Chains A and B, each alone.
Chain A
């Protein structure tokens, strides 16, 4: 059992290497296919000729394209994305510096969405066709139709402008410089609105898929058997149906992780949250293409890793997947 699981996990890891490689190659090709000289793109607006030559040398732009590609891949594999044009520091350092804020925001949103989404979906599925079920289904359709950034703006209007309860932007009160427990409370207060904003889309999606999966699981033969053998309803629902349904929920969380990152970009933009998403937005406007391409590869890597983890998690829950 453990052996086959290990083999399965290793197999998944090996399979994700070509995916990552393609992302790196696509990014490289995009930068080279973009109109204009890549050296000018990388050097920023109106560079001095000496600086251009320096950039050409530093980024190996004087070498044949296939050599450049090879160098790019080898460097990217070591998380070396070059130096940010704006920050004048290695891209990976800038990313790592901003990572905790995004992990805090998207982690909170993810936990909120997963727990509530699975609970609501499973709860509605047991009352299929009832009023509560219709309300949950309707609400989740509303939830995933609402554009994340508009929701953020509405929440700011409601809870920061008209009812001045919560801060509208940033991660801390810059002027006050809290420490210790006061700092924790300060960050938590700033976190509430963006985390809720980011969570709604995922929550709605997870609730929908969990509901469908749970209804499907409850209709299976093994449920009939479990009941026929005298199983209590609670036991049958949570021990027999739920584990099968939750696999779908976990898969969805992995598949939609890219959408969560997209949500993080706009949410961090609305709330000036100092994370990766905001960095992405700023990189576009500062025309910082080394940072932008580094961020893109990094984000793709994160998506691949999350899918790897959810795949392995699913195989732990359902040994049939491993085979």
Chain B
């Protein structure tokens, strides 16, 4: 059962031009949002003098000039915590995405290039991974093995590679019989060299698109886990802030609205960016 989502075939010039502008706009806004978040994550404490951990003077203070996003149940500065959360969410998302991309590429490239029995086995494994409810699986693993940033990154990364493997495999199956591969073979290039230096660069753009989508989904899964109290308690990610906010929904709206907005904007920016890169191209996607 394959799900090919192909772009339209109206190849008219006007439509294309319009599409390019629209895609540039998505790219532009996506870049702006993601860039801002990355800057916030990188600069972190330099941006705001507030201490995310210090117990302040008052609990549940509404947003003001001193505390732009108010204070939480322990009197901590929510703005400072949202800034710290950017770093945690982006690092977890980025590292998980890297793991899933590397594993997905390795698996997909091997299966697609060699084909045959190996491909058959790999695809069965991919099928199993795709049918298992990924997020519930992550909960079970974290509940059994305990939490921590490293474990969460590993779990998310190692559960997310199948869609990447599928895409890369499909590309390799087409590309392996192209003439440039044949030429490389004739000139005596090794199999590894052909896969890594000749075929993989052609798959680059598609991998890039899926890297951004992987990152957005990794940040989402991390926030789900943290929201359920399975995140690293020592690392206040946005999901953890929202978990704490749940208890005080009636008394402190700012504890919910601001961390959630940061999380939502980051995911939205990443999706927008991936979409912008993707538009105009047909792509098989595992969202």
Stretch of B47-55, B98-106, B143-151, B194-202 at the chain-chain interface: B143-151
The 8 Å CB contact of A205, one of B124, B137, B230, B287, is B287
Q: Which residues from chain A contact B136 at a C-beta distance below 8 Å?
A: 258, 261-262, 265, 280, 295-296, 299-300
Contact A281 B249 (CB under 8 A): no
Stretch at the interface among B34-42, B56-64, B219-227: B219-227
Residue in B closest to A300 when the chains form the complex, CB atoms: B132
Which residue on A lies nearest to B219, using beta carbons?
A147
From A134, which residue of chain B is reached at the shortest CB distance? B22
- A window 194-242: CB within 8 A of B: 205, 209, 212-213, 215-216, 218-220
Known A-B contacts A19-B127, A154-B256, A255-B3; A280 and B224 likewise in contact (beta carbons under 8 Å): no
Residues of A within 8 A of B67 (CB): none
**A150, A156, A307, A314 — most chain B CB neighbours (10 Å):** A150
* A153/B260 contact (C-beta < 8 A), A129-B18, A147-B224, A269-B228 known: yes
Given A150-B260, A307-B131, A209–B223 Cβ distance below 8 Å?
no
Minimal beta-carbon separation of A168 from chain B (angstroms): 8
Expressed in whole angstroms, the Cα–Cα distance for A295 and B133 within the complex equals 11
A32 to B246, CA, bound (A): 34
**B229 in the interface, Cβ–Cβ < 8 Å?**
yes
Rounded to whole angstroms, the CA-CA distance of A269 and B239 in the bound complex is 14
**B230's closest neighbor in chain A, by CB?**
A284
Of the stretches A21-29, A87-95, A106-114, A183-191, the one at the interface is A21-29
- List A residues 113-170 near B (Cβ within 8 Å): 128-129, 134, 141-142, 144-147, 149-150, 153-154, 156-157, 161, 168
A141 contacts B272, C-beta separation under 8 Å = yes
Nearest-neighbor residue (CB-CB) of B146 within chain A: A35
| Cα–Cα distance between A163 and B110 once the two chains are bound (Å) | 57
Judged by a CB distance under 8 angstroms, whether B5 is at the interface is yes
A168 to B250 CA separation, bound complex (whole angstroms): 10
- Bound together, the chains give a CA A259 to CA B127 distance in angstroms of 16
Using an 8 Å CB-CB cutoff, how does the interface string of A277-307 with B read, 1 for contact, 0 for none?
0001100110101001101100110011001
Cβ contact within 8 Å between B145 and A35: yes
Minimum CB–CB distance from A125 to chain B (whole Å) comes to: 9
A295 to B258, CA, bound (A): 34
- What's the nearest-Cβ distance from chain A to residue B166, in Å? 12
Given contacts A153-B249, A157-B256, A248-B5, contact A23 B132 (CB under 8 A): yes
Contact A153 B246 (CB under 8 A): yes
Main secondary structure, interface of B, reads helix
Q: A9 contacts which chain B residues (CB < 8 A)?
A: none
- List A contacts of B246 (CB < 8 A): 153, 270
The answer to whether residues A150 and B256 also contact, given A299-B136, A303-B133 and a CB cut-off of 8 A, is yes
Contact of A153 among B8, B245, B271 (CB under 8 A): B245
Closest A residue to B265 by beta carbon equals: A145
* Cα(A19)–Cα(B132), bound, Å: 9
Does the CB pair A150–B264 fall under 8 Å? yes
- Given that A19-B127, A27-B140, A269-B228 are contacting pairs, would A216 and B7 also be in contact in the complex, using a CB cutoff of 8 Å? yes
A196 and B53 alpha carbons, distance in the complex (Å): 35
Q: Fill in one digit per residue for A36-51: 1 if any B CB lies within 8 Å of its CB, else 0.
A: 0000010000000000
Indicate if A2 sits at the interface (CB-CB under 8 A).
no
The distance from the CB of A143 to the nearest CB of chain B, in whole angstroms, is: 10
CA distance A5 to B63 in the complex (A): 62
Partner-A contacts on B (CB < 8 A):
1, 3, 5-10, 15, 18, 22, 124, 127-128, 130-137, 139-141, 143-146, 216, 220, 223-224, 227-230, 242, 245-246, 249-250, 253, 256-257, 260, 263-264, 267-268, 271-272, 275, 287
* Apart from A255-B3, A293-B140, 15 more pairs, CB < 8 Å: A129-B15, A147-B263, A150-B242, A154-B257, A161-B249, A161-B250, A216-B7, A216-B9, A248-B5, A255-B130, A258-B131, A262-B224, A284-B139, A296-B133, A299-B133
11 pairs of residues in contact across A and B, judged by CB atoms under 8 Å? A23-B132, A134-B22, A144-B287, A146-B264, A157-B256, A215-B8, A216-B9, A255-B3, A269-B228, A270-B246, A296-B140
The 10 A-B pairs with the shortest beta carbon distances in the complex, nearest first, are: A262-B135, A258-B133, A150-B260, A145-B268, A34-B144, A219-B9, A145-B267, A215-B8, A284-B143, A153-B256
